[in-house]
Each structure stands twice: as structure tokens, then as C-alpha cells.
Amino acid sequence: MTSVETSARRWLRCYRPRPAATVRLVCFPHATGSAPFYRSWARELPDDVEVLAVQYPGRLDRIAEPALTAMPVLADMVTDVLAPRRDLPIALFGHSMGAAVAYEVARRLEQRHAAPLAHLFVSGRPAPCHHRPGTKHLGPDDDLWDELRRLGGTDPAALENPQLRSALLPTLRADYRLIESYRPVDAAPLATPVSALVGDVDTEALVDEVAAWAGYTRAAFDLTVFDGDHFYLVPHRTKVLAGVIRSLGLT
């Protein structure tokens, strides 16, 4: 097995191989999220789409590896894994922190191959010009844990489990350090078409902040606003996937 294949097995989870796929959709989880967040997508999308979910270090089967705390390092490593996989067009989907990672990976892949990707989907994330640095990663454990509770998206019973809290806190702190210390560069707009998605009462990503992603592509752009909060895509999964299919030109 080559080093490239070894890295791909560490970073990417393919829950359902699709031999007839015409596009590969690479999905990036939110802070403290992991690849299984997208497991159902692999089952529900049509045979044209093969889903690869990114597994960041520091969680589940990679719990023994330290979580990364610098966006450039994480984006470079994922780019290195994806760059050789050019047998199919690649689209990227990222939610919250994952949207920022997906954008940085899209920039790098475009630069490396001098060609646009099939599509970039950014969900629940303000455009880079509205990025807000922060210091929550420097605060007490209780404050960080309360932040996770406030955002939703995590089973309330799991939040009361002291063993789970102990296991997740280092990853939570590392992910917040990564996104709060992220400093987007003033880059040229992508050649890749972009779709932005957001909940109408998401306090982490206001609709006008998400609409500003329009300035980050010179290709097509569209914005879809769902009713819901930061994790609107969980109850609206069917509609989100229908939009992904349309945007990829598979209908």
C-alpha cells in the first residue's frame, strides 16, 4: 500500500462505494463533528454520487491522534489526500467549521490543478469577510461545554455523560482554537460554482453574512435559506440533498 493510499484511509470514510458514480462529494464535519455525521448521505444520495466523509484527527478511530489547531495545516493535509483522486470530478460540502475547511481546500485544489471543482457547498458559515475571531478556546471547560450545548446538534443525554465530556473536551478546545484563530487571506474568487445554505434563525451565521459568499466565486452562486437554527440541515436533510443533486446537475 502506498503512502497516498494509507493517508486516504486515515482521512476519508466511504460508507457506500458507488462504482457507477459520476461525481465524488467530499463532506467536512463541524467542530467536534466526525465522519459518521454524513453516513446517511452516502445511503440516500443516488448512484451518481459517491460520498467521502472527512475524518479529522482527534475523534473516534483517530482519538489517539492530536486534533489539529491550525487551519493551514488541516487544509494542506486534506488537499494532499484529495489531489491524486482525479478519476472523478470532486465537489465539496462543509458545515460550520467544515465550510471554512472546505473553502480552503477548494482554493488549494484549484491552485494545484488550475481547474475548477464540480461545486462547493458552504453551510451555516459566514463568508470569509465576515469571519469573527474569538477566544472561547482559551476559556474554562464549563464555558466551552456550555457553548456546545447552546449550539445544539449534540444528543442532550450525551452532554450529561462525564466520560464523554472528558473525551471530547480536548477536541472541542482544539477545534475552537482552529476556527477562532483562522485568518482568511484576501484571495481571488474561485472558478468553482458555490451554493450557500443557512438556517433563518442561525445566530452563528446570519443570512446576509452567508449571502456574502457570492463574492467568493466568479462562477454561479445561489443561496438557500431554510427555517431553523445552526443545525437546520439535520431536520431538513432530504431538502438539502435534493438541492445538492440539483446543483450537481443530476436531475
Active site residues: 96
CA distance 56 to 78: 9
In sequence order, what are the residues at sequence separation of 6 or more whose Cβ sits closer than 8 angstroms to the Cβ of residue 213? 122, 127, 194, 196, 221, 223
Residue that is written with C-alpha cell 462562477 in the block: 219
Give the closest residue to 204 by CA, choosing from 100, 104, 101, 102: 100
CA distance 24 to 34: 19
Cell of 204: 452563528
| b (16+ CB within 10 A) / e for 174-193 | bbbbbbbebebeeeeebebb
Q: What is the DSSP letter of 32?
A: T
Cell of 187: 484571495
Cell of 23: 461525481
List phi, psi (to 5°) of 153.
85, -5
Amino acid, res. 160 = E
Cell of 249: 446537475
